[in-house]
Structure 1
Amino acid sequence: MPRLNVIVASTRPGRVGRRIGDWFTAAALRHGGFDDVRLVDLAEVGLPFHDEPHHPSEGNYLHRHTREWSETTAAADAFVLVMPEYNYGFSAPLKNAIDYLYHEWRHKPVGFVSYGMTSGGLRAVQMIKQVVTTLNMVPVNEAVAVFLRQALDSGGELRPDPGRDDAAELMLDQLARLTVALAPLRVAA
């Protein structure tokens, strides 16, 4: 079975993204559609703003952090982006992490677990779809939107939510099917 990388896109101190990423990673492990589920936290990856002199499509990476990011990304068959919405858009660290690479993203499905105050991050998801499709990634239709005002308790922890769990299950079903369907394209590439 394929590998899923769950990428936590916020690097901001005090962020809730890691808690949401941990919740989703546990949901993906329970789902069983991927035998290898890895949480990849961009705050831990620590990529500087794009500092490679060569275009990513060349795959000529001079820096160790880029080579490690390339290996982590290339090893995955599918992705879920756990992403906040900042000013109606996605985070700069997420765009930076995407822009470091090119071939490593191709022909892989991507799902979205977004979060925010008023839209649950859905506006940011719409914006990033333009980016991922340019890299020949395939976004799944099902998504998880976390509305923080309702989702967090007074201590900042995620409240249990059967609706959120159901949305994750639907997205993972679709992501798993698409991962298998796109496998021949990844092999050919």
Structure 2
Amino acid sequence: MDYLKTVVPSQLIAERGANLVVINPGSANVRMGFASQDVPFNIPHCIAWQIPSANQASHPKMGRVDGLSSQQSKHDSKFTWTDVTDKSIKSSMSIERPVDKDADERTSPDVNDPNSEENNYKEMIFGDDALKIPPDESYCLSYPIRRGHFNISQDYSLHQVLEDLPHYLELDIDRKVAYRFKR
């Protein structure tokens, strides 16, 4: 343990290799990248979870990210919204039903076509993409860390925070830093 406190960064990179990933979890952004990089990636520290029912009235209301009034169309701006659906090809052997009852009505894939596309909503969305979810989609935005501490409240328990952080960090390391974990 004392060795890591006295080691010089260039010596550590020489010993451990260029695949050393540095993570600095700040309050608003997570900064991460390889130790050999000059500038790390800044990723917003937020997670959007899908709310199972689109017509559920108890989910918290969120303000618009782009600052547009509700009368303006989202197609009028140059702001790009996140696609919240996973399009997967439905095989003829498996018949899966979406979790959301309203998703059946919105997607309405042809059941008789064995290779029809099925739209499933992403369960969770991280970082930049979470901030760009359209306001008409049923997602709840959460910030696991606020002001340097775990963001624990009545609506966001310690258990949820501790479950969200590994998913968030693993996905962002995989997606942004392009480092694959050995399993």
Q: TM-score range by the shorter chain?
A: under 0.3
Q: Which has the higher helix share?
A: 1
Q: Which has the larger Rg?
A: 2
Q: Which has the higher contact order (CA 8 A, sep 6+)?
A: 2
Q: Which has the higher strand share?
A: 2
TM value normalised by structure 2: 0.24
